[in-house]
Structure 1
Amino acid sequence: MSLHQKQLQRKAWINQFHVKPTILDNREKEKALKVIATHGVVQLFGAIEKHKSIISKKMAETKSVIGKETLLENIGKEDFLKVLKRKGKQMEDVYSEDEVKKELKKEPEEVPSKKPRWSVLSENFYKEPTLQGWDQESDEDE
């Protein structure tokens, strides 16, 4: 058997049970799937917005930088999925206050030194003066 014949035979075998979809047969099914997809997308974006607002509330309540870092480290994929699965007012209870307080009371682990949090402490804070506008006359000369 030649390569061309094998390819034709394979294509015929693949298309043996293939049925072309018709618009008339699947119209109701497609409408139902479209509605389900729309509701799912709306729920997803609502959950994202709710998750962001919950995080920003908790960040505003937490005053220390280390506490904020631990809060951000502990918020993960599972918490977002909890928010996604819940509906309505139940979403606010995802991060119970007791859990957050327990996480914040934990002894903070020694943080490895990264770049300074305050930009003044960085080593490249002072930049060399540039010579922008050197060719323009100043107003003081007039």
Structure 2
Amino acid sequence: MTLHSVRSRTVAAPPADSSGSDDQRPVLPRVSSAVTDVPVMDRALAVFLRKRIAEADAYGCAAEQKALAGVGEVLAEFEAKHPRHAQMAHDDFFTAQIDTLRWVLRCVATGAFSAHPEFQPVFNPSIPVLSQSTEFSS
């Protein structure tokens, strides 16, 4: 099974209803497209990717598990650095590292899992988020 297979498997689920009515599936709280609270989006993205990694570990083939193991390493680095983000906001290099890791994770989530019913549009890297870095913004 490949990442494409995961996407195909998740497409079979009915898409989330955008009319405001919720179906019975447990999903993450929707994050507004006009994100001002980046930590909320970051937590939702981390939870989303952790669930996809767990699914791959349980049901995926070796290639899928290997690919998502790399994503897991990036996610682990992001989660390790993220709590220090507020303390290090004055350090443009550190902030740029967080922004870059966030951008990579958003690209992976969008590229591999955009058809998943729990995918949130704000995970798409084309949706801007506020960055504290003066050099980069994702």
Q: TM-score, normalised by structure 2?
A: 0.27
Choose between structure 1 and 2: higher helix proportion: 1
Q: Which has the higher contact order (CA 8 A, sep 6+)?
A: 2
